[in-house]
């Protein structure tokens, strides 16, 4: 079947896509340019530009480019039928400059949904490279994380950073704006301060600026904006000349508060609608839900993955994913952005390390 928006029709003839892949409707298979054949199965998806995604999560896309997504029931898409374009991403090949004679610095994020550790190597020109990262779950927002749970997790992270070679004075703690709303977090901050560690709590606005500093690659100040979709809130940031700007809206766990999807979408559209047109065509997006979206279509170990459109993830489920996709859809609609790029090594706490002298 070929799907165009909400309309679908059976494919009635063989079709060759622009990249040379041939869709054979009688054999229900794809004939690739190297002569090999890939059988289609119910639920598989194929884009107009030839990206093939199995229904099962363990299969990787066959090709790299997407311009529009068609849903296949037993067959796939064809340029002879007007397939509705959603996003037009291309492979994002940017590679950051590696640090020279860099120094190790570490940070632990006390987030609303995770306590995460990052170790980077950074040089005097603020070029940086991720050396080690670990992610842990948290139930701070649900008030189910005990002080002992958190303290033990943080001590383990401290030990790992010291063993890796990070000096004690270069270990930092940052509390996300979402996590700072929980009472248990304040008690943990006091415990860490008693151990002579400095703990930095950020506002949503500051968090957005730090995320912008870390996620926006050099040379993109006047070409792109940044979305940091956290559990507690979502930050939408961009550079206005030499000044950073940031708006915040609902986070991906808004469903826990019983907030209506439409209200969230309306607020996200209002905040994203303030992104200037000159920087609205490319978005660097980070956060837990964007990570899941990127992981679903990642083709190897590339540092950046271009996401599919917000309505192209039928295989993903769960309340948090659904809520995140609602926010994603609202931002895409308000900005008209044609390329959402996820960076695997980016986090607002990296921006905090970059902001240090």
Q: Where are the domains of the chain?
A: 2-71, 103-201, 215-352
pLDDT given for residue 2 in this prediction: 74
Q: What is the CATH number of domain 215-352?
A: 3.30.420.150
**pLDDT for position 185:** 78
Q: Using alpha carbons only, give the angle 92, 332, 64 rounded to the nearest 5 degrees.
A: 30
Least confident of 74-88, 157-171, 205-219, 280-294: 74-88
Query: 308 by DSSP, 3-state: which?
Result: coil
Comparing 217 with 189, which gets the higher pLDDT?
Answer: 217
Give me the chain's average pLDDT, please. 81
Mean pLDDT of 303-307: 92
Read off the pLDDT of each residue in 158-179 and give the average, rounded to a whole number.
Answer: 92
Q: Residue 7: what pLDDT?
A: 64
> Rg of the chain's alpha carbons, rounded to an integer?
22
Q: Could you tell me how far CA 316 lies from the centroid of its own chain?
A: 15
Q: By the 8 A CB rule, do 288 and 114 touch?
A: yes
Calculate what percentage of the chain has a pLDDT beyond 90. 48
Encode pLDDT of 7-57 as tens digits. 667 777 777 765 667 777 667 777 766 566 677 777 777 766 566 666 554
CA distance 169 to 11: 64
Cβ count within 10 A of residue 239: 20
Residue 163, classed as helix, strand or coil, is helix
Across residues 56-71, what is the average pLDDT? 38
Model pLDDT, residue 77: 38
Q: What is the pLDDT of residue 38?
A: 74
- Would you state the pLDDT for residue 78? 34
pLDDT at 127 over 90: yes
Least confident of 30-44, 50-64, 129-143, 290-304: 50-64
Distance CA 183, CA 188 (A): 9
Q: In this predicted model, which residue has the larger pLDDT, 328 or 8?
A: 328
Reduced to 3 states (helix: H, G, I; strand: E, B; else coil), residue 186 is helix
Cα–Cα distance measured from residue 107 to residue 347, given in angstroms and rounded to the nearest whole number:
10
Q: Which of 165-169, 181-185, 189-193, 248-252 has the lowest mean pLDDT?
A: 181-185
For the stretch 223-242, pLDDT in tens is 999 999 998 899 999 999 99
Per CATH, 103-201 and 215-352 having the same topology is answered: yes
Sign of the Cα torsion 128, 130, 133, 135 reads positive
Q: Which pLDDT does position 68 carry in this prediction?
A: 30
Phi, psi of 56 (to 5 degrees): -75, 145
Question: pLDDT class for 335, splitting at 50, 70, 90?
Answer: very high
* Mean pLDDT of the region 165-194: 84
Query: Which carries the bigger pLDDT value, residue 179 or residue 240?
Result: 240
Residue 69 pLDDT grade (very low, low, confident, very high; cuts 50, 70, 90): very low
The lowest-confidence range among 96-100, 156-160, 285-289, 314-318 is 314-318
CB proximity list for 216: less than 8 A, separation 6 or greater: 224, 225, 226, 239, 284
Find the mean pLDDT for residues 122-134: 94
Residue 342, pLDDT above cutoff 90? yes
CATH code of the domain made up of 103-201: 3.30.420.40
């Amino acid at each position: 079947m070929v799907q165009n928006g909400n309309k679908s029709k059976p494919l009635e003839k063989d079709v060759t896509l622009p990249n040379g892949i041939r869709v054979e409707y009688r054999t229900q298979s794809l004939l690739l340019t190297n002569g090999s054949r890939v059988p289609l199965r119910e639920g598989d998806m194929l884009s107009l530009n030839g990206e093939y995604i199995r229904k099962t999560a363990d299969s990787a896309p066959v090709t790299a480019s997407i311009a529009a997504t068609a849903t296949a029931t037993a067959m796939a898409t064809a340029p002879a039928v007007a397939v509705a374009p959603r996003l037009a991403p291309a492979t994002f090949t940017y590679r950051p400059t590696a640090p020279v004679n860099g120094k190790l610095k570490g940070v632990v994020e006390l987030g609303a949904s995770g306590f995460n550790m990052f170790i980077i190597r950074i040089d005097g020109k603020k070029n940086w490279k991720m050396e080690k990262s670990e992610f842990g779950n948290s139930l701070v927002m649900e008030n189910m994380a005990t002080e002992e749970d958190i303290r033990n997790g943080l001590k383990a992270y401290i030990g790992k950073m010291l063993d890796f070679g990070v000096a004690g004075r270069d270990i930092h703690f940052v509390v996300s704006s979402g996590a700072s709303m929980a009472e248990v977090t304040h008690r943990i901050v006091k415990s860490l301060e008693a151990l002579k560690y400095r703990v930095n709590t950020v506002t949503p606005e500051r968090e957005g600026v730090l995320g912008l500093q870390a996620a926006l690659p050099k040379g993109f100040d006047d070409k792109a904006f940044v979305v940091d979709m956290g559990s507690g809130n979502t930050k939408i940031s961009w550079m206005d000349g030499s000044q950073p700007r940031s708006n915040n809206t609902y986070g991906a766990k808004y469903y826990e508060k019983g907030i209506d999807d439409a209200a969230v979408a309306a607020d996200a559209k209002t905040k994203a609608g303030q992104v200037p047109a000159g920087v609205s065509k490319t978005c660097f997006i980070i956060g837990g839900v964007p990570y899941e979206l990127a992981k679903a279509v990642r083709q190897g170990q590339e540092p950046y993955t271009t996401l599919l459109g917000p309505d192209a993830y039928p295989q993903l489920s769960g309340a948090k994913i659904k809520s995140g996709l609602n926010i994603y859809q609202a931002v895409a609609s308000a900005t008209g952005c044609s390329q959402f790029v996820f960076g695997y090594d980016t986090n607002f706490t990296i921006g905090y390390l970059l902001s240090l002298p």
